[in-house]
Amino acid sequence: MNKKTVRDINVEGKKVLVRCDFNVPQDESGNITDNRRIVSSLPTIKYLLEKGAKVILCSHLGRPKGEVKKEFSLAPVAKELSKQLNIEVKLATDIVGENAKKLVSEMKNGEVILLENVRFDAREEKNDPEFAKQLADLAQIYVNDAFGTSHRAHASTAGVADYLPAVSGFLIEKELDFMGNALENPARPFVAILGGKKVSDKIGVIMALLEKVDTLIIGGAMAYTFFKAQGYNVGDSICELDKLDLALEIMEKAKQKGVKFMLPIDTKIGKTPDKDTESKTVKYTEIPDGWEGFDIGEETIELYKKELKTAKTIVWNGPLGLFEIDQFATGTNEIAKALAEIDAITIIGGGDSAAAIEKAGLSDKMTHISTGGGASLEFLEGKKLPGIECLENK
Ligand code: ADP
Ligand code: 3PG
Ligand code: MG
């Protein structure tokens, strides 16, 4: 990575503002249901504390749209951080107000506080320079480690870098190293697996990956659009009728680029997207009316597994079926298992994809699971990320 990191600066005794992505999922009672983003932020926080910095953490949680809403408070995150770090992490009642300033002024070296949700202030998402300056005024150094929010040009993710020396944390460094290397220097064969709901969500990623991969494997609901485009009936399956030409264009581009383009052969279909719905497996080209495709079938799983066994680098984005329902999670789970057993670099991007691998209990078997949803997609598309662009070059 060509950006400076916390290793490149002296932080001892300095007030360091660290932007993390603590946007974690919670249940109705506010309990954190997946703490991966918090755990992934610990190396940078611990490093700064060990070096004797005064660590001022900030993040958004959810989309409170510029209003203070209790259900979006970072209180549960402060609690989890205290537990993980084994020291008290005080939560300010505001962001750049009196309470935050008071807590900062009382900090000693090696202490850490957390500001309240930066999106409680409408100026955050507008990247308002005055708000960015007020954030900067709390500290002497800015560290961005919020990879998952690095595709947003907001005050705390980008604007603040106009007013302070700005470097990256270890999480951003790790994300860029793993995903960047896989894209720029892939051990070949390089295979991408793309699933998820819509072709339209993934056009940028598909087009960018077609320039780089040897094989592109398609699954998930987006596969039906490719079959419809070729004139087949897809029953009630999710299908984007306004993307049929695009689907054909993608297939044509794959041909031109010499990329092996693989579509599923069979699909598990159901009457409705419910756990007890009647289901059966049919050929992709023979989906009857009144039925909806929810997963790839056994033949496809075998075909894809065989292809994956030859790969040396695999990038996966988008579940291969409606994995939230057990009877339609087989395709996603079997391919995840295959990845876990293969001797290849395996990179997972996308919020739902990461959740699917976690649910299958295979997270620690992958080379890298990105903490970014939208951010990892934009990175795979080759887009510039404002939260990274704003940092100082080495
Ligand atoms: P990611 O967040 O990893 O980028 P997406 O958001 O593109 O992934 O897609 C994930 C969603 O796609 C999941 O909620 C999954 O249930 C859904 N999905 C995948 N295949 C199907 C299908 N055949 N029918 C309905 N939904 C599907
Ligand atoms: C995410 O969960 O993808 C990030 O935290 C960004 O959240 P946002 O889509 O609300 O900007
Ligand atoms: Mg998603």
Reading the block at residue 169, the tokens are 């944390």
Domain check: are 188 and 164 in the same one? no
| 4-13, 30-39, 159-168: least confidently modelled range | 30-39
Beta strands across the sheet bearing 292-296: 279-283, 266-270, 292-296
pLDDT tens across 64-95, in order? 999 999 999 999 999 999 999 999 999 999 99
The arithmetic mean of pLDDT across residues 45-63, rounded, is 98
Domain membership flag for residue 393? no
pLDDT reported for residue 177:
94
The arithmetic mean of pLDDT across residues 310-339, rounded, is 97
Under the banding of pLDDT at 50, 70 and 90, the label for residue 1 is: confident
Domain check: are 374 and 246 in the same one? yes
Domain boundary among 115, 141, 171: 171
Amino acid at 126: K
* Residue 56: strand, helix, or coil: strand
Domain membership flag for residue 286? yes
Domain boundary among 107, 139, 171: 171
Domain check: are 240 and 348 in the same one? yes
Domain check: are 237 and 357 in the same one? yes
Ligand 2 near 373 CB (within 6 A)? yes
The arithmetic mean of pLDDT across residues 51-64, rounded, is 98
Domain membership flag for residue 394? no
pLDDT tens across 102-126, in order? 999 999 999 999 999 999 999 999 9
Strand positions, DSSP E, the chain: 15-19, 54-58, 90-91, 112-114, 141-144, 166-168, 190-194, 215-218, 260-262, 266-270, 279-283, 292-296, 313-317, 345-349, 368-369
pLDDT reported for residue 306:
98
Q: What is the pTM of this model?
A: 0.92
- The rounded distance, in Å, linking the Cα atoms of 380 and 218 is 16
Structural domain span for residue 127:
6-171
Ligand 2 near 148 CB (within 6 A)? yes
Domain check: are 233 and 310 in the same one? yes
Residue 220: nearest ligand to its CA? 1
Ligand 2 near 349 CB (within 6 A)? no
pLDDT tens across 247-281, in order? 999 999 999 999 999 999 999 999 999 999 999 99
Model confidence at 133: pLDDT above 90: yes
Question: 81 alpha carbon to ligand 1 midpoint, in Å?
Answer: 31
Domain membership flag for residue 389? no
Domain check: are 235 and 347 in the same one? yes
pLDDT reported for residue 134:
98
Domain check: are 156 and 140 in the same one? yes
Distances (CA, A) of 319 to 10, 193, 298: 43, 9, 16
Residue percentage of the chain with pLDDT more than 70: 100
Amino acid at 199: V
The arithmetic mean of pLDDT across residues 137-142, rounded, is 98
Ligand 1 near 323 CB (within 6 A)? yes
Which residues carry out catalysis?
A: 37, 198, 351, 374
CA 123 to chain centre: 24
Which is it for strands 279-283 and 313-317: parallel, antiparallel or unpaired?
A: unpaired
pLDDT reported for residue 291:
97
Residue 329: nearest ligand to its CA? 1
Domain of 338, CATH number, reads 3.40.50.1260
Domain boundary among 171, 189, 215: 171
Provide the number of structural domains found in the chain.
2
Residue whose CA is at the smallest distance from ligand 2 atom 11: 149
Residue 100 near residue 115, CB atoms below 8 Å: yes
pLDDT tens across 366-388, in order? 999 999 999 999 999 999 999 99
Under the banding of pLDDT at 50, 70 and 90, the label for residue 351 is: confident
- The rounded distance, in Å, linking the Cα atoms of 6 and 143 is 7
Residue burial 297-326, b: 16+ Cβ < 10 Å; e: rest: beebbebbbebbeebebbbbbbbbbbbebe
Domain membership flag for residue 390? no
The arithmetic mean of pLDDT across residues 276-292, rounded, is 96
